[in-house]
Structure 1
Amino acid sequence: MDDEVEVVVAHSERATLRVGDVYLKVDADRARVDVEVQAMALAPVPTPDVLWHKPSVLALAALRGTTLGRLGGTSTGTSAAWMAAGAAIRQLHEAPLPSWNGRAGRSVVTLAEELDRECRLLVAKGLLPAELVIRNRQVAEAAFRDWTPAFTHGDLQIAHVFLDGDEVTGVIDWSEAGQGDPLYDLATFSLGHEERLGDLLAGYGGHVDLEVVRAWWALRSLLAVRWLSEHGFDPFAPGCEVDVLKSRM
């Protein structure tokens, strides 16, 4: 039987298809594909093999193993697996810096302006109640601080890290990588899975300011709700972004 084409994710900006053991990533922003290839070449953690790369399209080999869950779903894996993920993230953050800024490297001024604009739209469009937005905007304030740049993934969702048992076999989706705030990666990975944060940080090691992690949970969720709603996703599903915001009330 011929391999079927599986649509992994698709919206107006990009799409990922799977055919057998090959993933095809198509991105309207050619520069994002170029960044992904560069970041995977520099990253000190396992990444998918690049089969070929042409303008706007990237072909990658499938990874061995499974993820530790997804946003809105039940987290899986042992404590050791979560610790292994934390150790891999630490390894990335301690690597030599890439030459460019990533999504996690936006300036405090730019980020605050973007967040305030989004908060106004969320209320004006009736997507979220004002008190929920105001409370989480207050929580998000802790993310606006000085930080030491690290090599960050920039979109380190739990579904982007594969493990086989307690071994990290690969990290995918590097198009937002670059210099940035390392706590953004930790917050993104643990978003919606606060109960596993202790295991993740045990593997990561060192001191981590939990107030800043919680601030990034609020900030990322506030910035995501409208975009997700307008691109066919459901941030109101159980355990997803809106529930993350409600948990800070």
Structure 2
Amino acid sequence: MTDVEEVEVVVAHHERATLRVGEVFLKIDADQTRTDVEVKAMAMAPIPTPELLWRKPPVLALAALPGSALGRLGEPSTASSAAWAAAGAAVRVLHEATLPPWPGRSLDEKASSLDSECTWLVANDVLPADLVTRNREVAEAALRPWKPVFMHGDLQIAHVFVDGGEITGVVDWSEAGQGDAMYDLASLTLGHPEHLGDVIVGYGADVNHDVIRAWWSLRSLTSIRWLVEHGFDPSSPGCEIDVLKSQL
């Protein structure tokens, strides 16, 4: 590799780290089964993904994507309505693709996680009990049988890259598998409900707004402990705790 001016730490926590070195992203993961899923999912996905340059466990090297992320949780998105609609269209293409051969998390696993995380939030005085209770009631709408689709599984806006009104690629496929289409749409619009309409226009199919709203609550409730334990702040403006408050 030629000399570069600096190494940028994109994200780092106890489980994995991503570094940017010039035009190459180096992903280091303690669990190589997640990397296995990422490599397989990118190979199967019918939408743009980063070029896989090489893999030497525990490191996966990917080429940088052109453009910039659709946005960041907790920050206003500067992307156009056309870009958000293009993201919705790309998600629809993914959801109509052949299912990956491995399963995603089951309905029972999601329900069990919701139960344990809500108990932890209240027992440790992380959030007021009434805030947890109300959002748990909202979240219950997500816990229904769904027709499985090829789901990205962690489709937060920072993982979708755009250039103008076009999608240049989607990154971080380690949670991909069979799952609920509404979960991907909810992940994409978490903290940015003002762009849900644009995403739905691009998606071009009937969506259940109540289920998307339910996934906003469920994803936020079940992620707070992990975020805290890995050095992130879910109480930052516009992030998970604000999402829960906005559901009331």
Q: TM-score range by the shorter chain?
A: over 0.9
- Distance in 2, Cα, partners of 1:6 & 1:101: 34
SS at match of 1:109: helix
- Aligned counterparts, 1:1-249, within 5 A: 2-102=4-104, 106-249=105-248
SS at match of 2:174: coil
- Distance in 2, Cα, partners of 1:214 & 1:222: 13
- Distance in 1, Cα, partners of 2:127 & 2:226: 13
Aligned-pair CA distance for 1:159: 0.4
Aligned-partner residue type, residue 216 of structure 1: W
- Distance in 2, Cα, partners of 1:192 & 1:141: 19
Number of aligned positions between the proteins = 246
Contact between 1:15 and 1:26, CA under 8 Å: does it hold in 2?
yes
Would you identify which runs of 4 or more consecutive aligned residues in structure 1 move more than 2 Å? none
Contact between 1:71 and 1:158, CA under 8 Å: does it hold in 2?
yes
Aligned-pair CA distance for 1:239: 0.3
Identity of aligned residues (%): 67
Aligned-pair CA distance for 1:2: 3.2
Alignment RMSD (CA, Å): 0.9
Contact between 2:30 and 2:58, CA under 8 Å: does it hold in 1?
yes
- Distance in 1, Cα, partners of 2:101 & 2:56: 22
Aligned-pair CA distance for 1:72: 0.3
Aligned-partner residue type, residue 54 of structure 2: W
Contact between 1:115 and 1:219, CA under 8 Å: does it hold in 2?
yes
Aligned-partner residue type, residue 88 of structure 1: A
- Distance in 1, Cα, partners of 2:18 & 2:5: 16
SS at match of 1:58: strand
Aligned-pair CA distance for 1:53: 1.1
Structure 1 unpaired stretches of 5+:
none
SS at match of 1:70: coil
Structure 2 unpaired stretches of 5+:
none
Contact between 2:220 and 2:244, CA under 8 Å: does it hold in 1?
yes
- Distance in 1, Cα, partners of 2:159 & 2:202: 18
CA displacement, residues 111-143 of structure 1 (integer Å, 9 cap, x when unaligned): 111111110100111110100000000000000
Aligned-pair CA distance for 1:110: 1.9
- Distance in 1, Cα, partners of 2:227 & 2:109: 21
Contact between 2:4 and 2:21, CA under 8 Å: does it hold in 1?
no
SS at match of 1:238: coil
